[in-house]
Amino acid sequence: MHVKGFTHLHPTIDEAIRGTYAGLGTPEVTDYLKKLGITAVELLPVHQFTDESYWGYNSIGFFSPQNTYSSSGMAGQQVTEFKQMVKNLHKAGIEVILDVVYNHTAEGNQLGPLLSFKGIDNRIYYHQVGDSPEYYMDYTGTGNTFNLSHPRVLQLVMDSLRYWVTDMHVDGFRFDLASALIRTDEEFGSVSSFLDTVAQDPILAQVKLIAEPWDIQSYHVGGFPVRWSEWNGKYRDTLRAFWKGDDGKAAETATRLLGSPDLYASDGRSPANSINLITAHDGFTLNDLVSYNDKHNEANGEDNRDGSNDNMSWNCGAEGPTDDPAINELRERQKRNFLATMLLSQGTPMIVMGDECGRTQHGNNNGYNQDSKISWMDWHWDEKRQALFEFTSQLTALRQAVPLLSRRRFFGSEQVAYLRPDGEEMTADDLNNPNTHCLALFIDGLRVSEQTEDGQDIGDEQLIWILNAYWEDIPFMLPKIGRKSSSWEVVVDTYTGQVNPTTPLRQAENPLQYRPAHRYSCDSSN
């Protein structure tokens, strides 16, 4: 979430503190987050930054909370206000994670301003091109790359991290473009003084560490050390492609649902190390992902040249808002498909501010400079938006009620199976068939012997997911398993929006006509 954007338009928060740290610490916010089932908030950058970026990815003061987010003053009062916000969120059982930008600064390239580091010691603070101190290696897309391979620069960053833990009491960090932090002057570093220093630091051992495991020239999902979690870009891309009906995505979708063991199991990490996301601040919102085929960034003033052209989106039959009820119904169903998949997958789900209620940026996929209604949370909801919020809240309640949905260990092959529509187990050929758009994941809790963190049995529920990304109905035969005199009951149905977190889970042998993700005319690519 964005500190300003989340509360700037909130109708019941005192207008004097909307869009501030104090606003985020109000009961209106904490009650909302608790109802939604949120246990941690990740704040877009709050290190002091220059004002050309609404998002805040132009840091210039690594020890200072952004002063414009303070309602009580800018001469140090922002520190006290930030601490109180953290205290209030903690009291509500919500952790605070900071998105930190140590990979570059606001000084830019050779044409950028001289604000601090260039004038202090330009050669050590930045990766430079050969022996030319006026030219900078740009692995970040901002004109420069901070040089954490130098001991004094590394000391600065480590002192900053410790300060935010010990003095400001945050619970963890998400490192923007983390691959850039472990580069040498030439390449992505397999041996990194930054990673080594973080690994042995007793203060940082207490907090969560999350990598955005790429920069503009490298992609290292699954490549960070054991203590690190990662934004799982492969999860995002696979599920976007699967639910819009792309061919050949069944096998990888099956792997992503189980917490991406191909990425995290071999080095001792757990499913929780996979931060599962469908959307992020940079890119389409969930609503826009199912409403636009193309970006619409004209408001940014760059003639629509900025922002990604590869969004893996599908507008469901019309570009942008439409009065066609069939298209609107399909879009709501697709939102539910994405949310249900993400919130019930193994791993750590991440919801972007407003996706739970269908927030739109009107097709803008790069709102970095939009301190406007394009980026602010809209709190005036119609019935459709309220229904999506309730659906999302019920999913998080279900996740918390069924420990099998968030295990600390990866499932073994004897505990899960993938099923075809005829109820038989899928073969490798079935999963890898490019025309496979429907699969079921069976989780057999009877074969799981594990306890939750509070010592309770993890449960013996038997769960079946049926994911139909095909554009027609597919009859599905449910298998006979386990107990006698029982029948399967639907707990989540994204077609109708039904969620029953308290329904007992039972099984039988009746066929289920499983409805499609897409019931609308599709072109050949869908």
Residue with tokens 């007793």: 202
3-class SS of residue 117: helix
Cα dihedral 20, 232, 298, 107, rounded to 10, equals 60
Cβ atoms 310, 446 nearer than 8 A? no
Following DSSP, what letter does each residue of 31-42 receive, concatenated?
HHHHHHT--EEE
Q: Is residue 362 a contact partner of residue 320, using CB atoms and an 8 Å limit? A: yes
DSSP 54-65: SS---EEEEEEE
Q: Do the beta carbons of residue 145 and residue 180 sit within 8 Å?
A: yes
Catalytic residues: 176, 212
Neighbours of 287 (CB within 10 A): 24
**354/367 Cα distance (integer angstroms):** 14
- Backbone phi, psi, residue 103, to 5°: -85, -20
Provide the β-strand partners of residue 477: 511
d(C-alpha 106, C-alpha 112), whole Å: 8
Q: What sign results for the dihedral spanned by CA atoms 163, 277, 292, 359?
A: negative
Q: Would you state the structure tokens that stand for residue 248, as one six-digit string?
A: 């050949």
DSSP-derived 3-state class of residue 163: helix
* Alpha-helical runs (H) found in 364-449: 383-401, 428-432
Q: List, in order, residues 6 or more apart from 437 with CB less than 8 Å away.
A: 242, 245, 247, 250, 468, 469, 470
Contact 513, 476 (CB under 8 A): yes
* Residue 332, token pair as written in the block: 């709501």
CB 118 within 8 A of CB 146: no
Cβ 395 vs Cβ 492: under 8 Å:
yes
> What is the C-alpha separation between 312 and 338, in angstroms, rounded?
13
Identify the CA nearest to 92 among candidates 20, 45, 7, 35.
35
Residues 6+ apart with CB under 8 A from 442: 416, 417, 418, 419, 462, 463, 464, 479, 481
Helices (H), 346-454: 383-401, 428-432
Cα dihedral across residues 287, 290, 291, 294: positive or negative: positive
Q: Which residue bears the tokens 């690994």?
A: 199
Taking residue 392's Cβ as centre, other Cβ atoms within 10 Å add up to 22
CA distance 510 to 272: 35
